[in-house]
């Protein structure tokens, strides 16, 4: 029976929290296989993030909440797929906590349910992929139940503090570059400026990296204020400079309005639409586009698979060494232990304005915004 432990083996749970991204399946494989093969632990995959641990647990059938991994479980098809085969949820399915206002309050009310199921399943430790929000919650809950927690950073936004890169970012950059390459041909064919919005929440890593890689003319991010006149000037200059009357513009969803003004909360237009409208007004035929989930749901590239494998192995080693409240991150290009107190409830990691990618964008003559006179 799943709940009973047949012996004294350590039993850990793995789950994937927050938005999905490419590479999660390799992280699940790396954690599970390495923990089983190297340390002889038992590993349980928990379905649908924390949801799998908050209501009555279903052990059987296609919608079971738990997958008990065994050394003969084959991950080989999953690692080639996008998303997460364990499933994830942004919100909790249960209505039990619907009136809760903050993460802090949420973890307090979740705790009794979490504790009950952790005990029922005999779980001795937890490893989870997630952003800082997921890691904060799980670490808090695990601390209260007195089991160790190790996090693995994942997000296409690449904004997790404490790590140079998160799982999913590189594949997402690839997806954006592929899409922007297609958009280029329509921009050229119709002699238009096409303003393409990419994700990134409050940061511009995805916009900056995919913009440079796809030879964009303008890249707008939340970290660097811009002016509409600066964007228009750049697009118009292409006619004189390169004899072309089309342009590729990449804008991060968090870039906001010109001069650092935020997009109004109830705006019925996107940042890309706002910029396209301004270009149109200035006599430049423009269109707005929005890449949406194609930049998140695609296949994991080679880099993300390697990263996920390395971080998964490190996460297990950290747990075996007795660490808790830590994250397996990347520092100076190598997997490294990061204390969760330096990750959770910290400001998200925005674009560093003196990073090579920002300098390169400037050096290539891309308009990336400017110092705004007050």
The site for ligand F6P (CB under 6 A) is made up of 19, 90, 155-157, 199-201, 253, 296
Residue 66: CB minimum distance to ligand F6P, A: 24
Q: How near is the Cβ of 172 to ligand F6P at its closest, in Å?
A: 8
Minimum distance between the CB of residue 128 and ligand F6P, rounded to whole angstroms? 16
Nearer to ligand F6P, 42 or 159 (CB): 159
Nearest residue (CB) to ligand F6P, 201 versus 349: 201
Phi, psi of 153 (to 5 degrees): -75, 135
Distance CA 338, CA 112 (A): 28
8 Å CB contact between 143 and 331: no
Sheet holding 42-46, edge to edge: 66-69, 42-46, 11-16, 125-130, 149-153, 326-331, 334-339
157 catalytic residue (yes or no): yes
Give min distance, CB of 20 to ligand F6P, in A: 8
Nearest distance from C-beta of residue 293 to ligand F6P, angstroms: 7
Burial of residue 118, with CB atoms counted within 10 A of its CB: 0-12 exposed, 13-18 middle, 19 or more buried: buried
d(CA 137, CA 29): 23
Segment holding 109, helix H or strand E: helix 103-120
Q: How far is CA 258 from the centre of its chain?
A: 26
Residues 6+ apart with CB under 8 A from 101: none
| Residue whose CB is less far from ligand F6P, 142 or 199 | 199
Active-site annotation holder among 157, 217, 289, 304 = 157
Residue placing its CB nearer to ligand F6P in the complex, 292 or 365: 292
Nearest residue to ligand F6P on Cβ basis: 199
In the complex, what is the shortest distance from the CB of residue 53 to ligand F6P, in angstroms, rounded to a whole number? 21
3-state secondary structure 246-279: CEEEEEECCCCCHHHCCCCCCCCCCHHHHHHHHH
- Is residue 368 within 8 A of residue 361, CB to CB? The reply is yes
Cα of first residue to Cα of last residue in the chain, in angstroms, is: 68
Contact, 46 vs 57, CB < 8 A?
Answer: no
Give the catalytic positions in this structure: 157
């Amino acid at each position: 029976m799943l709940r009973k432990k047949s012996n004294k083996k350590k039993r850990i749970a793995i789950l994937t929290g927050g938005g999905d991204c490419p590479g999660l399946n390799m992280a699940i494989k790396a954690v599970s296989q390495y923990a089983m093969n190297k340390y002889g632990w038992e590993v349980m995959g928990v379905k649908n993030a924390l949801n799998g641990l908050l209501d009555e647990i279903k052990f059987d059938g296609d919608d079971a909440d738990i997958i008990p991994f065994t050394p003969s479980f084959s991950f080989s098809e999953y690692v080639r797929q996008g998303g997460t085969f364990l499933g994830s949820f942004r919100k909790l399915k249960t209505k039990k906590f619907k009136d809760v206002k903050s993460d802090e309050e949420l973890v307090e009310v979740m705790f009794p349910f979490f504790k009950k199921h952790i005990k029922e399943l005999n779980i001795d430790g937890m490893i989870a992929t997630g952003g800082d929000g997921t890691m904060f919650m799980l670490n808090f809950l695990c601390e209260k139940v007195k089991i160790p927690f190790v996090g693995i950073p994942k997000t296409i936004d690449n904004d997790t503090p404490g790590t140079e890169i998160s799982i999913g970012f590189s594949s997402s950059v690839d997806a954006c570059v592929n899409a922007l390459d297609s958009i280029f041909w329509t921009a050229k064919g119709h002699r238009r400026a096409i303003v393409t919005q990419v994700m990134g929440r409050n940061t511009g890593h995805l916009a900056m990296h995919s913009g440079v890689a796809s030879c964009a003319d303008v890249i707008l991010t939340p970290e660097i204020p811009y002016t509409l006149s600066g964007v228009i000037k750049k697009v118009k200059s292409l006619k004189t400079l390169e004899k072309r009357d089309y342009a590729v513009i990449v804008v991060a969803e968090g870039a906001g309005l010109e001069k650092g003004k935020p997009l109004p909360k109830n705006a019925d237009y996107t940042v890309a639409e706002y910029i396209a409208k301004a270009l149109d007004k200035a006599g430049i035929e423009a269109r707005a586009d929005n890449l949406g989930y194609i930049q998140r749901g695609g296949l994991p590239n080679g880099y993300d698979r390697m990263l996920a494998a390395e971080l998964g192995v490190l996460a297990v080693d950290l747990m075996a060494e007795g660490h808790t409240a830590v994250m397996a991150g990347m520092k100076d290009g190598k997997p490294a232990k990061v204390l969760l107190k330096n990750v959770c409830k910290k400001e998200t990691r925005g674009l560093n304005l003196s990073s090579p990618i920002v300098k390169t964008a400037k050096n290539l003559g891309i308009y990336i915004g400017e110092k705004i006179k007050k």
